[in-house]
């Protein structure tokens, strides 16, 4: 409430902050966000999520073939102006977990908000190629360290981490299909970027986005990628139980799903899309795994999953990148 929000020329808005926040919440659906403590970093959040995933899957972490960590800004110490990705966040997570096996390969991927989904796609490819049997895929971010407090768009961003164990199984189900695309030929690359503060005389760089262009791009391109992915699964649209979409903006996500079903000439089924953006905000690579974890553990009222259910993961973000996975529980 005490921030001074300005336009991109550094001129303060004339309206009261309460009006800015009310309008922001009505559009994005965000009422709360979660920030890391001052002592925590992206690698710390990642390690906590990883420990939970390892415990839930009941595996020996020394048997992991890969640790794949998706993020965008690495470790950024509280109060620092510099991102630290050397060594990789994945290597730091492996160290925190105490994994000694040198054949457990740890690396990071930069793919914008769709990074966790892309990490899962890569893990699946390793298994199909016979290169791995167990992978740990993590999405972690501390966006609160790289936001411009004078930019009202910065209110959308939050911190978080989600992790999952991807394991090769002989059972039916698992990852049925996937789709990944990158758009750069129509100035999409400039829709999300690192840019100067709106605050005058502040030369620091912060995460920036062209909100309207991102919205329009997502509505025109994401439903198509989702359909191309789902059509490869062999299932009918009526078989789809849940859509776990990147928690970017409530109204945008609702519009994406509506357009996705319109491609099938169908109406959006009630309860198809769980959301947690209201209390968690947009934590980039962490939104989908944290939301999926909540639904799996019965923490989202009105949403549950059963063995054999078919779900769709989908995300869009800086690049501009879009990806999707059809998955059978």
Active site residues: 113, 246, 282
d(CA 224, CA 260): 7
Closest CA to 151 of 7, 54, 321, 256: 7
User: Do the Cβ atoms of 163 and 136 come closer than 8 Å?
Assistant: yes
Tell me the two tokens of residue 179. 């789709």
Beta-bridge partners for 105: 66
d(CA 287, CA 275): 9
CA 238 from chain centre, in angstroms, equals 26
Element (H, E) at 28: helix 17-28
Does residue 277 sit in helix, strand or coil?
A: helix
> Cα dihedral sign for 97, 84, 289, 166?
negative
d(CA 43, CA 142): 9
d(CA 198, CA 149): 9
d(CA 106, CA 94): 7
Q: Phi first, then psi: what are they for 193, rounded to 5°?
A: -160, 175
């Amino acid at each position: 409430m005490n921030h001074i929000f300005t336009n991109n020329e550094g001129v303060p808005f004339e309206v009261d902050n309460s009006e800015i926040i009310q309008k922001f919440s009505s559009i994005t659906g965000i009422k709360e966000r979660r920030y890391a403590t001052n002592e925590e970093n992206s690698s710390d959040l990642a390690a906590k999520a990883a420990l939970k995933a390892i415990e839930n899957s009941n595996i020996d972490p020394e048997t992991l073939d890969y640790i794949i960590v998706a993020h965008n800004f690495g470790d950024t110490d509280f109060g620092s102006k510099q991102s630290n990705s050397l060594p990789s966040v994945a290597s730091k997570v492996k160290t925190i977990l105490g994994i000694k096996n040198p054949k457990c390969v740890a690396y990071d991927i930069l793919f914008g908000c769709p990074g966790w989904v892309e990490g899962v796609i890569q893990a699946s490819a390793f298994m199909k190629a016979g290169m791995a049997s167990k992978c740990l895929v993590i999405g972690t971010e501390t966006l609160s360290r790289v936001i411009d407090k004078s930019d009202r768009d910065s209110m959308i961003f939050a911190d978080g981490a989600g992790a999952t164990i991807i394991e090769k199984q002989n059972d039916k189900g698992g990852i049925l299909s996937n789709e990944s695309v990158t758009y750069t030929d129509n100035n999409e690359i400039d829709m999300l970027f690192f840019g100067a503060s709106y605050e005058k005389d502040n030369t620091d760089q912060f995460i920036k986005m062209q909100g309207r262009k991102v919205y329009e791009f997502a509505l025109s391109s994401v439903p198509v990628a989702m359909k191309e992915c789902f059509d490869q699964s062999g299932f009918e649209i009526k078989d789809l139980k849940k859509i776990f979409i990147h928690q970017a903006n409530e109204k945008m996500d609702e519009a994406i799903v509506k357009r996705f079903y319109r491609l099938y000439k169908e109406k959006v089924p009630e309860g198809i899309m769980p959301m947690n953006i209201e209390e968690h905000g947009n934590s980039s690579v962490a939104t989908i795994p944290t939301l999926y974890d909540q639904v799996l553990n019965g923490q989202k009222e009105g949403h549950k999953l059963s063995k054999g259910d078919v779900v769709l993961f989908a995300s869009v973000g800086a690049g501009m990148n879009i990806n999707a996975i059809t998955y059978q529980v």
